Chain A
């Protein structure tokens, strides 16, 4: 309604001004959680889209930290943006537009084969894709080369294990200056944490979402938590998230950490702080295959958008080679772009792509059960409790499983 009014007004004004382009404007509202540099990149992409489509205006709406609240309010009140960044498909998919038909229609023009299918799969609910990836990241370990050199510790190898990481980390501990070799999270985002479960051969919840017992509290799961708790107990790693709100990346920037497990989003800050860092793949659990979680920034379309075709054009543009090249704060979803920019051979970027190559066999827990959010709260509690007590992983995970029963129905 409001838009119509605006449209009418804009038209009236332009007619009155006898301007040449009396077509009026069409506006696309695009919501993003990014801020700062990433936001500027998206605005630039939007500007280029506007330039390529005269008469179209893109209203970029950055909600930053308040993204979920804002999205809930606007969806709840029936006034969502046309296009938005999305990750929580299970909660929103009923109000999102399935994109499969659009993709099928334009598959050739878009050169969809250039995009790893694993990325699109992160947006699927019941087989339908609700998002089109625009950028992604896998997880790696950053390490401070200067510190390694100074301490005379050998740099991480191509295929290293957690045991090796721990052995290295122990050598950096300096009580006086509060230096640690590594950091473990007591309150991790479970979305990313599941990669450790996967790498140790288990998962949070059964593939069909029917059970957590025997998964979340499996011996392998207990092993993961116990390992991190041991690292904390032996001071191989500082514990983040309980009592220390200093983020791991802040400590890494302050050279208080020799190694830090993170993703693309930390890289910009490390560059800015002038840290001489290297990047290693995630370590493996013995000889088990390592698996990273994939964080994809994907674009979704509101079901009720007034102009789905235009919105699709906008989404498509975001995954075009032109746009993907601009996104320096995450990784290009197009293999061709990555190769063209020589990322796959660059020692800093290569580990990310190596991780991507081995990380397409699992999908995240939240896609498997509608009550995952509440189950996850119990898991978070178990992780936190284990890290506080620096042990008792089995007991806490069993407890989480028991607490989750009523949500599994």
Chain B
């Protein structure tokens, strides 16, 4: 009797231990199939002089040394990327939140508004860039045409090193429909009663936003925060097609630096070393955000301290 009982228990414990790994196994397998190999390969590559064709040569840490000590483009492009991120990340989140809050109200035709705000995210990269080129064009663009109607002489948006990065920030923000949707989904899972209760006790709208919406939305805010940082560092398509990194490298992003080293200069080893540095920078930033998150992210479904091993 007790033997069967114990054996059952052992089996049950074993199953319990195994279950979580079964659930995450698709990703684990995918990681081994499609990520780990390329990752190791690129790590090895970063210690080589590795032209796409021709002889490869092991050169130790030379790629890293050259990058950090001799290549001004490394630091320039890193700085451009950081500047971009400092604009893009907060605006992406704040404006995305603003749109989401607007759309979370009961408005007529909200489905249509949501679709409209998502529209730019549906347009593929090549076309989107063509559109922005037309908007920003110094001589022939719609933006300066409209400004001209108002009697304002518009700047050379993409041709002036002082404006180009900002222009790219704005163009990138056009795609915040995704962020908006993520936050909207989050808003939807906040209980209405919380707002009703707050309203009854005379809490003003802005305070409801700060004290109810933002804490309840914090898991999704964390998500957009981290993914925005990653997006900022991987920003490539728009700048590549719109400004090609110019004028005077004012929009020469780190991702473009990697891209050029790989596809213009055919230095795969050097590009791999670049990538690893970028990878480590993003990783460090994300870890900082994750670490800080325990202080500001509130999880409704968080497991009780110490946990609940069989849940």
Contacts and interface: CB of A to CB of B under 8 A. Distances in A.
In the complex, is A directly touching B at CB under 8 Å? yes
Given A94-B53, A384-B247, A373 B266 contact: yes
Interface string A93-116: 011000000000000000000000
Interface in B121-150: 133-134, 136-141
Nearest to A96: B53
Contact of A244 (B52, B54, B137, B265): B137
Nearest to A90: B266
Interface residues of A, number: 31
B51 interface: yes
Interface stretch (B97-105, B157-165, B173-181): B157-165
Contacts of A244: 137-141, 158-159
B107 to A, nearest CB: 37
Contacts of A385: 248
Interface string A231-274: 00000001101111110000100001000000000000000000
A388 to B, nearest CB: 6
Chain B binding surface SS class: loop
Nearest to B133: A245
Nearest to B137: A244
Given A91-B52, A94-B54, A373-B265, A242 B140 contact: no
A178 interface: yes
A238 B139 contact: yes
Nearest to A245: B133
B238 to A, nearest CB: 12
Contacts of B248: 381, 384-385, 388
A12 interface: no
A388 B247 contact: yes
Interface string A331-357: 000000000000000000000000000
B161 A91 contact: no
Contacts of B158: 242-245
A46 B136 CA distance: 42
Nearest to B66: A406
A14 to B, nearest CB: 35
Contacts of B55: 94
A187 B266 contact: no
B268 to A, nearest CB: 7
Interface stretch (A48-56, A67-75, A305-313): A67-75
A51 to B, nearest CB: 34
B244 A187 contact: yes
Contact of B263 (A72, A92, A246): A72
A127 interface: no
Contacts of B138: 242-244
Contact of B266 (A91, A241, A245): A91
B262 interface: yes
Nearest to A92: B53
A373 B242 contact: no
B246 interface: yes
Contacts of A76: 52-53, 268
Contacts of B141: 244
A6 interface: no
Given A243-B156, A243-B247, 20 more contacts: A72-B262, A75-B53, A76-B52, A76-B53, A91-B266, A178-B140, A186-B159, A238-B139, A239-B159, A242-B156, A242-B247, A243-B137, A243-B159, A244-B139, A245-B137, A251-B140, A384-B246, A384-B248, A388-B159, A406-B70
Question: Which 9 A-B residue pairings sit nearest by Cβ, starting from the closest?
Answer: A243-B159, A242-B159, A245-B133, A243-B138, A95-B53, A243-B156, A94-B54, A243-B158, A373-B265
